[in-house]
Amino acid sequence: MTSTIQKPRILVTRAIFPQVIERLAAHFEVEANPADDLWDRAELLRRLQGKVGVFTTGVERIDAALLSQCPDLKICANMTVGYNNFDLQAMTAAGVLGTNAPDVLTETTADFGFALLMATARRVTESEHFLRAGQWTRWSYDMFSGAEVHGSTLGILGMGRIGQAIARRGALGFGMQVIYHNRSPLSATLEQECKARYVSKEDLLKSADHLVLVVPYSAASHHSIGAAELGLMKPTATLINIARGGIVDDAALAKALKSRVIAAAGLDVFEGEPSVHPELLQVPNVVLTPHIASATEGTRRAMADLAVNNLVGYLVQGWAVTPLNPEVNAAA
């Protein structure tokens, strides 16, 4: 009589490319979510029972309370680069590995960041609404006059991989003067490659014509751009957020846009998304997109594949590719 070896059980929390499920099914017993249902906390907890791994999309909160009720769980693999849905301290204490998907979305996200910058500076959304409403009846010399991009000063808050990619686009493609602020300056070699100069946060806010936020979200960065910071910016400046919701105080930003403290903003992320602060929906000088900076098919596939590689690497081969708490990885 032959016996079959039970595959490890994993959960995929949202709908994903069928090929990803096929790859996982070669190694695991997979509970998928092809209907893309949005599970509440209780449902997520119920479905995690008996699972050793979970494929997450960056919104499922993994914390001490959940982990205490999921004793079999060994790895949570985000398909996003951000991981503020993970309580890494609690995960490490429980011996649960967290992984994310860095690098694979850098260039695509930088492309989108620059697209959002240009749309904001040149008032693309505002002018399109004007045209669609049938209000364009004649030409005028100052109609939707926007801000220069080429030759202007590009400020970047958070100079990781994506920030550096945006800097290169600005300096090399548009002849922009690039300044940045980070927890620590880049090496001289990287600064030269990016044509970027380190400044204090205050100088960054005061000097940038276009300020792009690419800083990771944490308790320390929560509302790091609020009313006081917006007040330091030029009245002609634009603010672009492709980082995470919560870095900007959205209520303060809506007021600043309404009173023209700054000229305009472009936002791909929001506090409490998918909800958007209602006042942001009322001001004309803001470009709003639904968290799509990495949304090309090739990049989203690469993100998903990296999450699969982490699950297979850790649960089958004993070593994940991009661990967030490597001490757990090392203990495997």
Distance, in Å, from the CA atom of 107 to the CA atom of 98, rounded to the nearest integer, reads 24
**DSSP one-letter code for 28:** S
From first CA to last CA, the distance across the chain in angstroms is 33
Which residue carries 């044509």 as its tokens?
195
Say how many C-beta atoms besides its own lie within 10 A of residue 79's C-beta. Answer: 28
Which residue of the set 23, 122, 210, 291 is catalytic? 291
For the question of residue 223 being annotated catalytic, the response is no
For the question of residue 181 being annotated catalytic, the response is no
What is 160-204 written as a DSSP string? SHHHHHHHHIIIIIH--EEEEE-SSPPPHHHHHHHTEEE--HHHH
Distance, in Å, from the CA atom of 246 to the CA atom of 105, rounded to the nearest integer, reads 21
Distance (Å) of CA 78 to CA 7, 31, 123, 197: 21, 16, 35, 33
For the question of residue 291 being annotated catalytic, the response is yes
The CA angle 110-115-119, to the nearest 5 degrees, is 150
User: Phi and psi for 152 in degrees, rounded to 5?
Assistant: -90, 180
Which residue of the set 31, 107, 193, 273 is catalytic? 273
Q: Which of 205, 206, 185, 212 is closest to 196 using CA atoms?
A: 185
Which residue of the set 14, 181, 244, 300 is catalytic? 244
Which residues are marked as active site? 244, 273, 291
